[in-house]
Structure 1
Amino acid sequence: MSTNDTKLSRESIAAAALAIADAEGFASVSMRRVAQELGVGTMSLYYYVKTKDDLIAVMDDALMGEALLPSIPKDWRRALTEIATRTHDLFLRHPWALVSMLSAPPGINAMRHMEQCLEALAGTSMTAQQKLALLATVDDFVFGHALREASADGAIDVAFAKAQMATGAFPRLAEVFGKGRIPAQRDRFKKGLKVLLEAELS
């Protein structure tokens, strides 16, 4: 075993794969490309990850590790806000993961993430069904907002929007946005999440 091979682990392999995906896109991730990044032979990886699916699984587990909080605030709304914000931020750092990691099986860090979410709600009077429903709704909000932010097609062209409102063809939009700025995506995420968590649960 070479000196480089002794530095191999599932964690180092995942880190290399994430770096490749961030820099070159998920399509560039392969066992050969990861081995090249680590300076080892491709066959050296197979001791740690057996297949491409296994490689995707360790990548997803590393990503979910980024979503974990070091500690859970006692107030459940604050706790879920911090968890949701941390998850949202990881998707913005790794936008390719929004689609490419959908098929990945849940790993230990995904389970820890869910455990933290449930721990945040442990002191509430919510039923198990209510907790799961709320967490699913928050997940949908986080995922959908991150997908919109990461998409160039979803970005607001402020100059275009203001020019169109100036024509008078969109009086209702002008009434809401014409005298103020169009809310930044980050502001919309924070305010939307606050509204969601403060809403009465049915």
Structure 2
Amino acid sequence: MASADDDALIWTRPEPGTRRPKFTREQIASTALAIADAEGFAAVSMRRVAGELGAGTMTLYYYVRTKDELVALMDNALMGEVLIPEDEFPSHWYDALSAIALRTWDILTRHPWALHSLQNAPVGPNNLRHFEQALASLAGTDLDAPDKFLLINLVDDFVHGNALRSAEVREAGEPAADGSPVDAALRFGQTQIATGRFPHTQALFGDGDPREAWGRVVGPLSERDRFRVGLSALLHGAASRWKLALPDA
């Protein structure tokens, strides 16, 4: 039986049913995502989205009741990008989990602001479809429910953690203005290394600017390729732990 509170969720309400609705939820979400990608999540507001759509703010409230509902639409739209088309879904558990993880990583690194700003968004239809695909990837294994859930969460944690770290590294690699937090952190790090109390760190980075040594430290692999190596190590470890068959070489 439906709860009286269900109407509070935008997914439980049909879109406004005029004969010719001016806007769709997809249009609204796409507009909000474009603003966040260009200017950051803080630039997203009901007024701003309405302006980009050429509508009055009160008109937008006819389609989306609150800023929280707008955030829910944005998150659901991003999760729609993560979904793998059915005709492309791999049959082997390893290939399927790899495809889901890599596609999720690609989307998160394309929209890095979402790592923080959308983490508390309510679960939408595409979140459920994403979880369904993760379960489908393990349907052919002998894993029980707790182990399936554990493996899916291990992969999910690795994806989000790696995407977050990649975003931080890219930010740190940008030119740091004098007096900025990044500049202050770099100067502090160099000062501490110079004390001699961090010999392993000093051996890794040397005595110069850590950013100049970064390319040597991380090696020639791209961020995406480093992610793939880590994901492969994780899934091979899972295969060893749970006696799961790996795909033919």
Query: TM-score if structure 2 supplies the norm length?
Result: 0.69
Paired residue for 2:90, among 52, 58, 73?
A: 73
Q: Is it true that 1:27 corresponds to 2:67 in the alignment?
A: no
Q: What is the aligned partner in structure 2 of residue 82 from structure 1?
A: 99
Equivalent pair of 1:76/1:120 in contact (CA under 8 Å): yes
**Residue equivalent to 1:196:** 234
Which residue does the alignment assign to 1:161? Answer: none
How far apart in 2 are the matches of 1:179 and 1:96? 26
Q: Which residue of 1 aligns with 2:120?
A: 103
Match of 1:61 among 62, 66, 76: 76
Structure 2 CA distance for partners of 1:132 and 1:180, relative to 1, 3 Å: closer
Q: Counterparts of 1:1-202 in structure 2 under 5 Å? A: 6-71=21-86, 72-151=89-168, 152=170, 173=204, 181-199=219-237, 200-201=240-241
- After superposition, the C-alpha distances for 1:127-163 in whole angstroms (9 at most, x for unaligned) are 110010001110110001101111135659xxxxxxx
Higher relative CO (Cα under 8 Å, sequence separation at least 6) belongs to 1
Distance of 1:56 and 1:48 partners within structure 2: 13
Q: CA deviation at 1:47?
A: 1.9
Aligned equivalents of 1:12 and 1:83: distance in 2? 25
- Relative to structure 1, is the Cα distance of residues 155 and 137 closer, same or farther in structure 2, using a 3 angstrom cutoff? farther
Residue by residue, what CA displacement relative to the aligned partner does 1:3-29 show, whole Å, maximum 9, x if unpaired? xx8430111000000000000100010
Give the whole-Å Cα distance in 1 for the aligned partners of 2:225 and 2:148: 26
Asked whether the equivalents of residues 148 and 155 of structure 1 are also in contact (C-alpha less than 8 Å), the reply is: no
Structure 2: which amino acid aligns with 1:114?
Answer: F
Structure 1 Cα separation of the partners of residues 49 and 155 of structure 2: 34
Matching residue's letter, 2:38: A
Q: Deviations over 1:46-92 (max 9, x none)?
A: 12211010000010000000100002211110001010000000011
Gaps of 5+ in 2: 1-19, 175-192, 194-198, 206-214, 243-249
Query: What amino acid is the match of 2:139?
Result: A
Give deviations 1:87-138, integer Å, cap 9, x for gaps.
0000111000000001101100000000000001000000110010001110
Give the counterpart letter for 2:91 in structure 1. Answer: K
Q: Report the CA distance shift for 1:172/1:128 in structure 2 as closer, same or farther (over 3 A).
A: farther
CA distance in 1, matches of 2:146, 2:83: 23
Which whole-Å deviations, capped at 9, do the CAs of 1:159-186 have from their partners, x for residues lacking one?
xxxxx9xxxx659759xx9799354322
Number of corresponding residues: 187
What letter corresponds to residue 229 of structure 2 in structure 1? Answer: K
Distance change in 2, residues 1:29/1:37 (3 Å):
same
Relative to structure 1, the CA distance from residue 180 to residue 59 in structure 2 (aligned partners, 3 Å threshold; closer, same or farther) is closer
The CA distance in 2 between the partners of 1:73 and 1:172, in whole Å, is 44
Larger Cα-atom Rg? 2
- 1:7 match: secondary structure: coil
Q: Structure 1 unaligned runs (5+)?
A: 157-163
Identical amino acids, percent of aligned pairs: 54
